[in-house]
Amino acid sequence: FTLGRNKSRCDVLMPLTPRQSHITRLHGRVMLDGIQLMRMGTWGLESYALENVAQELLGTGKLIRTPDDRVEEINRQYREDKEALARYNLEDCRLVYEIFKKADLLNFAVERSRLTGLPLDRQGGSVAAFDFLYLPRLHREGFVAHDTGANAEPITSPGGYVMESKPGLYENVLVLDFKSLYPSIIRTFYIDPLGLSITEGEQVEGFLGATFSRDRAILPGLIKTLWAARDGAKRDNNSALSYAIKIIMNSFYGVLGSSGCRFYDPKLATSITKRGHELITRTRDFIQDLGYEVIYGDTDSVFVLVGENPEKDPREIGTEIAESLNDWWTNTLLEEMSLESHLEIEFETHYAKFFMPTIRGSQKGSKKRYAGLITLENDEFEIQFKGLESVRTDWTPLARRFQQELFRRVFLGEAYTEYIKEIADGVLAGEFDKELVYKKRLRQKIEDYTKNIPPHAQAAKKLGRAVRWIEYVITVNGPEPILDQKSGLDYPHYLDRQLAPAADALLECLGDSFEKITGKQMEMF
C-alpha cells in the first residue's frame, strides 16, 4: 500500500479513546472523506452510506447491496470468484469518483480551504475558520482577543422560533423564507464580538442587555464582503465557491454560541435567535393584517394559507406579499431603530395541496412535519414530505410506499378506500413480506443492551454476531433477523404499527380511519 508520493506506506494512527476515529496519513498526499464533505453541506440525505448516496446522485449502486451478508459474499467471492470480487471493488472506487464529480466535492474542499485557511482534509473546524477570518480584522482595529474559555457564562441561547401549527388539509399554501436569516440579522443589527465590547458611541440594542457599536463592528462588514463574493460566484457559475461561502456564513451563529469559541458570549447568540423570533412573529402579524392566515412558521419561514378559489394566481400573491414585507421591514427598521435593512424575504414555494398533521394522540398541531403537492410544468406534480413516515428510514418500505401513494390519491382527489383495503389484504396474504423489513443501526455493542432492549437489538442478539446495521422483521415470536428468521410474520403488528399510523393523520381530516376501512380484515385476527 505504497501510495505516498515518496513511495512510503500509509501511516495508520490508532484511536486513543473509543470516541476517536482511526486516522490514516499518506506522505505528500491529501485524503478527502466524501461522507464528511457531504455532511458539511446541505445535501440532507437519509444515509451517507455509499450505496444510498450512489443511488441518490447516480441512479446506481454497489454490486453487493445487502449489508448484513456483504462480508459473507465477499469471502465467498474471494474463495470462489476472484474476478467478481475485483469487479465489486473497482465499482466501489468508480462510484466514489463519480460522486465526487457529480457533487463537485473536490472544488468545494478547495474553495473552503481558501476561505477558511484550514487544511484541505480538516473536517469541521468552524471555530478555527472563524478565527482565521476574524482575528486579523480584530488586530487591524487595535484589539487582541481573549483566550478560549474566558467567558464561562452558563446561559444558553434559545434556538430558532417554531410557531404552533394549525393542523389540517389545505388548498393553496405559500411558503415565504427569509434569505440567509442569521447572517442578515448579524449584518442589519450590528451583532459583533468587538461591537459588544465597545460601550461608547451610537449603539444598537440586542438581547440579554447587550448593546452593539454601530461604528466599530467587524462581522457585518465581513458578511457584506462574503455576500458580494457569493453573488459573484453565482454570476460566474462557480457553484463550489458559492456553496462554500454559504456554509461559512451560516456557521457564524453556531460558532458564537459555542463555548469552544474564544468569542463565546450568550449575548451574541441570543441577540441573533431572539431577533429571529421577533422577525418571524411580526412578519406573521403583518401577513395576517393583509387578510391571510399564517398556519405555521419555522425559524426563517412562514406558511401562508391562501385557500380555495383565490382571485389571482397564488404565485402572484406570494410575490406581492414578499415585496410588501421587504418594503415594510425597510421602512420599519429605519423608523424604529434608524437601521438599514439587509433582510430579504422571498416567495419560495406554492403548495396546491398541503397537509399539517397533529401530534399523535393529541389535537395539537405538530412541528417540522408536513406534506405538500407542488404543481410543475406540463401538468406534472411533485409531493414533498417533511418529517413524516415516508421519509424516515426506520419505517418499513411498505409503510413508506403506502403513505406516498395514499397522499398522492388524496391530494389529487382520487379514490383511496379500495387502495387501502388492497394493501391491507395483501399484507395478510403475505404478498408484501419483502417490504416488511425494518433496518436500523446499532448505536452500541450488542452486549451493552441490557435493560429495555429495543426490537432491533433483540434481533441482533438472536443473530449471534456483531453487526452495525440489522435488518429484521416482527414475527409471532418477536423480532427476528432476516438472516436467521425462523417464525412467521406478525401481520397485525404491521397493520397496527405501520400502515395505520402512516394513514390515520391524513384520514382523520377526511372523517375516516384505517380501522374503519379495514375493519373486516382486522376482525380476522
pLDDT in tens, the chain (525 residues): 788 899 998 888 887 776 667 778 889 998 888 888 888 766 777 778 888 899 989 999 998 876 656 788 899 999 999 999 999 999 999 999 999 999 888 988 888 888 888 888 887 788 999 999 999 999 999 999 988 877 766 667 788 888 889 999 999 999 999 999 999 999 999 999 999 999 899 999 999 999 999 999 999 999 999 999 999 989 988 888 888 888 899 899 989 988 889 999 999 999 999 999 999 999 999 999 999 999 999 989 999 999 998 889 999 999 999 999 999 999 999 999 999 999 999 999 999 999 999 887 777 888 888 999 999 877 789 999 998 877 777 799 999 999 999 999 999 999 999 999 999 999 999 999 999 999 888 888 888 888 889 999 999 999 887 787 888 999 999 999 998 899 999 999 999 999 999 999 899 999 999 999 998 554 444
Angle at the Cα of 86 from the Cα atoms of 82 and 88, rounded to 5 degrees:
115
Task: Return the pLDDT at 64.
Answer: 85
Task: Return the pLDDT at 292.
Answer: 95
Task: Return the pLDDT at 326.
Answer: 97
Buried b (16+ CB within 10 A) or exposed e, 202-223: ebbebbeebbbbbebbbbbebb
Cβ pair 173, 372 in contact under 8 A:
yes
What is the gyration radius of the CA atoms in the chain, in angstroms? 27
CA distance 500 to 512: 12
HSE on the CB side for 103, CA within 13 Å?
27
Task: Return the pLDDT at 397.
Answer: 93
Q: Phi/psi of residue 354, each to 5°?
A: -145, 140
Cβ pair 406, 419 in contact under 8 A:
yes
CA distance 174 to 352: 9
Task: Return the pLDDT at 409.
Answer: 96
Cβ pair 354, 371 in contact under 8 A:
yes
Task: Return the pLDDT at 154.
Answer: 66
Task: Return the pLDDT at 123.
Answer: 73
Cβ pair 114, 129 in contact under 8 A:
no
